[in-house]
């Protein structure tokens, strides 16, 4: 393996208000992002905007020139496990829209939350809904060469379909381990779901379990977020890297683990303009292991 393929690109969620290229490209530059994630619809709404072809082209070309991989985060309302049929339909339509938009802007992946059965009696039906909704989308995006869909385990609670990394096994099985369904690992969610990432070796053990559950090459994106809450709280309040209850040593383990080699890592942390993100991106870059035999050791 060479150093280039092992490098973890570090970036942030990136605002787009005012125009995809007009807003996101200067932001990525100011934050020194090496990877960007954007919303292509309101994060808390169901409206599915068409996008502006001129901004799409400028953004796609701008990211291409800068070598920035692009990810889309689907609306937070998406829940394929919902007991409400209209919500399942809208969720599938939202993912189809995000995949179309992803093709237009050159995205590698569309992240969506694993979802929740909401009611105790609905758990089995919920995974059937995941299968029925996702399989056609996965086949379709495979036929046109991407983007991938990336399932993100949640912070837990509320009959969630996947919060601990072991839950990804049944989730992937529900779609016959389709090659176009990847995984996005969020550190704050895993911590909230009870993985003790702050213990020495805790992040390493969690990533080992993730790989044992989903296999190699399934992890395609990391959301690196510290937490304002305690382990197992099921609360999802992000904090800046090293400023929260997870702490910097866990993120050093994250950046060293073989499972994250070559996988983009991005923050979704509190920020004033780009300043908080720039600091978190710089912190994660400092924790990145140096390629063997090159440069001075990190001080
Ligand atoms: Zn996340």
Q: Which residue, 294, 2, 260, 196, is CA-closest to 284?
A: 260
Whole-number Å distance, alpha carbon 21 to ligand 1 midpoint, is 22
User: Which residues is 150 bridged to in the sheet?
Assistant: 111, 182
E strand map for 17-115: 36-38, 70-73, 109-113
pLDDT band at 293 (very low <50, low <70, confident <90, very high): low
CA angle 73, 263, 101 (to 5 degrees): 30
In degrees and rounded to multiples of 5, residue 71 shows phi and psi of: -125, 150
Instruction: Give the mean model confidence (pLDDT) for residues 205-212.
Output: 98
In this model, does residue 154 exceed pLDDT 80? yes
User: Is there a contact between 197 and 206 (Cβ–Cβ < 8 Å)?
Assistant: yes
pLDDT band at 41 (very low <50, low <70, confident <90, very high): very high
Instruction: Give the mean model confidence (pLDDT) for residues 180-209.
Output: 98
Tokens 């001129």: give the residue. 54
In this model, does residue 194 exceed pLDDT 50? yes
Question: Minimum mean pLDDT among 72-76, 109-113, 158-162, 188-192: which range?
Answer: 158-162
In this model, does residue 263 exceed pLDDT 90? yes
In this model, does residue 3 exceed pLDDT 50? no
Whole-number Å distance, alpha carbon 28 to ligand 1 midpoint, is 18
In this model, does residue 85 exceed pLDDT 60? yes
Whole-number Å distance, alpha carbon 189 to ligand 1 midpoint, is 7
Percent of the chain whose pLDDT exceeds 90: 91
In this model, does residue 136 exceed pLDDT 70? yes
pLDDT of residue 121: 86
Instruction: Give the mean model confidence (pLDDT) for residues 225-239.
Output: 97
Whole-number Å distance, alpha carbon 292 to ligand 1 midpoint, is 31
User: Is there a contact between 171 and 162 (Cβ–Cβ < 8 Å)?
Assistant: yes
Whole-number Å distance, alpha carbon 268 to ligand 1 midpoint, is 7
Structure token pair of residue 31: 């934050």
Alpha-carbon span 88 to 73, nearest angstrom: 18
Whole-number Å distance, alpha carbon 186 to ligand 1 midpoint, is 5
pLDDT band at 290 (very low <50, low <70, confident <90, very high): confident
User: Is there a contact between 93 and 47 (Cβ–Cβ < 8 Å)?
Assistant: no
158: left (phi over 0), alpha (psi -120 to 50) or beta: left
The whole-model pTM stands at 0.95
Whole-number Å distance, alpha carbon 70 to ligand 1 midpoint, is 15
Alpha-carbon span 172 to 211, nearest angstrom: 13
Tell me the average pLDDT of the chain: 94
In this model, does residue 148 exceed pLDDT 50? yes
């Amino acid at each position: 393996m060479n150093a280039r393929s092992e490098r973890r690109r570090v970036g942030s969620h990136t605002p787009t208000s005012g125009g995809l290229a007009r807003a996101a490209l200067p932001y990525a530059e100011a934050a020194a992002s090496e990877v960007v994630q954007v919303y292509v619809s309101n994060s808390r709404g169901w409206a599915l905007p068409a996008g502006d072809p001129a901004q799409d082209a400028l953004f796609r070309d701008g990211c291409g020139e800068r070598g920035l991989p692009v990810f889309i985060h689907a609306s937070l309302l998406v829940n394929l496990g919902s007991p409400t049929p209209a919500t399942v339909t809208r969720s599938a339509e939202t993912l189809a829209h995000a995949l179309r938009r992803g093709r237009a802007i050159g995205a590698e992946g569309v992240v969506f939350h694993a979802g929740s059965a909401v009611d105790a009696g609905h758990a089995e039906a919920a995974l059937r809904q995941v299968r029925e909704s996702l399989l056609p989308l996965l086949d379709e995006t495979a036929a046109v060469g991407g983007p991938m869909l990336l399932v993100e385990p949640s912070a837990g609670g509320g009959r969630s379909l996947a919060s601990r990394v072991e839950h990804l096994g049944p989730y992937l099985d529900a779609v016959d381990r389709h090659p176009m369904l990847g995984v996005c690992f969020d550190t704050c969610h895993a911590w909230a779901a009870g993985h003790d990432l702050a213990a020495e070796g805790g992040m390493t053990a969690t990533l080992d379990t993730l790989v044992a559950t989903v296999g190699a090459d399934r992890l395609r994106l990391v959301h690196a977020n510290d937490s304002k809450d305690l382990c197992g709280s099921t609360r999802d309040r992000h904090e800046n890297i090293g400023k929260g209850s997870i702490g910097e040593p866990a993120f050093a383990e994250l950046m060293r683990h073989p499972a994250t080699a070559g996988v983009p890592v991005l923050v979704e942390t509190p920020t004033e303009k780009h300043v908080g993100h720039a600091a978190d991106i710089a912190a994660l870059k400092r924790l990145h292991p140096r390629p063997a035999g090159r440069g001075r050791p990190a001080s």
